[in-house]
Amino acid sequence: MHVALSIFVIFAVWRWGDWRNWQKYHTTMLYFALGNLTYNFLTASYFLWRFNSDFLSNHTLTEMLYTFIVFPGTALLFLSNYPTTKKEQLKHYIRWVAIYVLVELVFIFTNHIHYNYGWHLGWSAAFDVIMFPILYLFYKKPIIAYLISIPIAVFFLWWFKVPVHLPVEQR
């Protein structure tokens, strides 16, 4: 399922994305990847959600598909098709949140995602509602997006009591 989604995202970027001008979206693609890497690093022993691997056989390779294909591809598709009118922009946000929620719903029913510590589809949907506007904000004003991202991340770490341990110096 995860490999199929990755292949579909590659096709979608080729078909509907502005992949020829990928450099315009590159920093936002990296921001999205960085967010996923940060999540995996901070929650390595306390995953709020975790993808159940299909034939890739381990969590790390599955996460690499999302970090380097699905999420950057999503950023490129989302930004390169961003509409100009407010009404169309709202529809665009709703469409992308719906896509993410529906894909996750399929993952729930096919046992390709597992939730822990109180996380559930509702939290994912709420996160998506926040995430897509921040992706656009990052595209336009990256410093502001970074500054907004920090308290959002701290909130989720605090709310779900994620044990973030500072490294202890080895002697």
* 165 within a domain of the structure (yes/no): no
* 164 within a domain of the structure (yes/no): no
* 169 within a domain of the structure (yes/no): no
What is the pLDDT at residue 56?
67
Pairwise CA distance, residues 130 & 148, whole Å:
11
What is the pLDDT at residue 171?
54
Residues of the chain with pLDDT under 50: none
* 35 within a domain of the structure (yes/no): yes
DSSP annotation string for 31-69: HHHHHHHHHHHHTTTS-SEEEPPSTT-SHHHHHHHIIII
* 37 within a domain of the structure (yes/no): yes
* 141 within a domain of the structure (yes/no): yes
* 43 within a domain of the structure (yes/no): yes
Q: What is the pLDDT of residues 7-48, one digit of tens each?
A: 999 999 999 999 999 999 999 999 999 999 999 999 999 999
- Structural domain count, the chain: 1
* 67 within a domain of the structure (yes/no): yes
